[in-house]
Amino acid sequence: MTAFGFDSTADDVLAGVDLSGKRILVTGASAGLGVETIRALKAHGATLVGAARDLAKARRALSAAGAGDIDLVELDLASLASCRKAADELLAKGERFDVIIANAGVMACPFGKTQEGFETQFGTNHLGHFVFVNRLVPLLNNPGRIVALSSSGHRFSDVDLDDPNFERTPYGEWAAYGRSKTANALFAVALDKRLKPHGVRAAAIHPGGIMTELGRHLTPELIAQMTGGRDIASAFKFKSIPQGAATTVWAAVRAPADEVGGRYCEDCHVAEVTEDPAARSGVRAYALDPARADALWAKSEEMVGERFAF
C-alpha cells in the first residue's frame, strides 16, 4: 500500500479509489474538515449524507466547495433530543451506511451546559455522538466502519468519570477539551470491541492542527496555555484543511480494517503509545485502555438514560 504521511491530502489518499456504491454519513457538514471530507469522498463516487446544526450554512459551504446536492439532516450535538430526532429520521428512511464519520465538535469554549445540562465540550463532543452514532448502528453494513475524530488535545486530560460536568472540579477550557477528546478515542475502542463480531470496525483519529472555525473561542491566554507560552507558529506545524481530512478518509475507506480497528491514528498511520510530555505525536495509553473505555460506556449510558446493546 502507498505510504501516506503528514503532508498527504484527502485527494492523495483517495487517488485511484472508486467509492461508487458506498454510502457515508459525516457530522459537522457545514464547515472546515467536514466539508472537505464530504467533497473528497463525493468526488470519488461515494453517496454522502451530511449532518449539521445549521442546514442553510451547510448548503452554502458544500456548494462553495463543489460538493452540493447531498442529503442533509439537522443535528445539534448539544441537544440529545436533536440527536435522537436526527437518528430517528435516518432510521425511518432505512437506507444503510458503509461508514459513519463523527467529525463535528467544539473546542476550548467558555464553561457552559448543553440542553440537558452536561458540560458543553463533553456533552457535545462525546455524549451527542454517543447517542447519535449508537442509534444508527443498525443501519451499518457488514463490513462497515466508524471514525471518531479525537485530537492530540486528548493529552491535556483523561476523562473524569466521577465529575464529568465540573461540578466539583475548577473548570479549564483545555482540561474540558482534553476530557472530551479522550472520550472520543475511548468511544472508538468500546465500539470496536462491541461491533467487531458484526463486521463493523471503529477507529479514532487526530486530524492535525488546522486553522478552522473550531478555533473560534481561542484567546491569546488560551493559546499561551496550549503552547506553554511559545509562539504558536513555532509550537505547531499546521496542516491545510485538505491535509487535515486525509487521516479521516484513510481510516474510513483506505486503511485495512484490522490495522485501524480500536486504534488511534494520525498522519495516515496508527499512532505510537507514548507518555513523553514533549512528544508532538503519539497517543496516551489511557485513551486506549479497554477497561477505561467500558467504564466510560457505562457512565455515558447512565448520563444519557439510554442503553445500547449490539
Which residue is listed with cell 506553554? 228
Give the up-direction half-sphere exposure of residue 40: CA atoms within 13 A in the CB hemisphere: 30
Conformational region of residue 279, where left means phi above 0, alpha means psi within -120 to 50, and beta covers everything else: beta
Indicate left, alpha or beta for 306 from its phi (over 0: left) and psi (-120 to 50: alpha). beta
Q: Which three cell numbers stand for residue 46?
A: 461515494
- Strand segments, DSSP code E, in 7-123 are 23-27, 47-52, 71-74, 97-102
H or E element in which residue 173 lies:
helix 173-195
Helix, strand, or coil (residue 97): strand
Determine which one of 171, 177, 264, 286 is catalytic. 171
264 classed as catalytic: no
Q: Which residues are catalytic?
A: 171
